[in-house]
Structure 1
């Protein structure tokens, strides 16, 4: 689950907790909303921790390209290869 999924969980949980007045027998939507928000927050924290570790830059040696000198061919070429 990526960052987008975590944000959606938080949003759905907030909607269930704060913006609905449905009453279902045997289900407390406020608790379900709080659980969804908690899972979304935990997922966001985990995702940002993993992303932060991936962003660590390790200095590397620069790549130096050498120039390759091709011998100059005079005359007719048929367009293939040289």
Structure 2
């Protein structure tokens, strides 16, 4: 799941938790919203951790030429 999916989960969960007043007998809609927001936040942290590891760049190696190796 990418960063966009995590943000969508957070937004949809917030809408379910705070902006709806639906009453269902078998499902607590507020709890589903909170769970979606928590999963979205965890996803953001995991995504940031993975991206931080991928961005580590090693310094480019350069070839050192000494005076003895030059052929004139």
Q: What TM-score results when the alignment is normalised by the length of structure 2?
A: 0.82
The 5-angstrom pairing of residues 5-20 of structure 1 reads 5-20=5-20
**What 5-or-longer segments of structure 1 have no aligned partner?**
64-82
Root-mean-square deviation (CA), in Å? 1.3
Name the structure where helix makes up a greater proportion of residues: 2
Offset of residue 60 of structure 1: 1.5
Q: Distance in 2 between matches of 1:13 and 1:58?
A: 40
Specify which structure has the bigger relative contact order, considering alpha-carbon pairs within 8 angstroms and separated by 6 or more residues. 2
**Which residues of structure 2 form unaligned runs of 5+?**
64-72
Instruction: After the TM superposition, list the runs of 4 or more consecutive aligned residues in structure 1 that deviate by more than 2 angstroms.
Output: none
Aligned length: 63
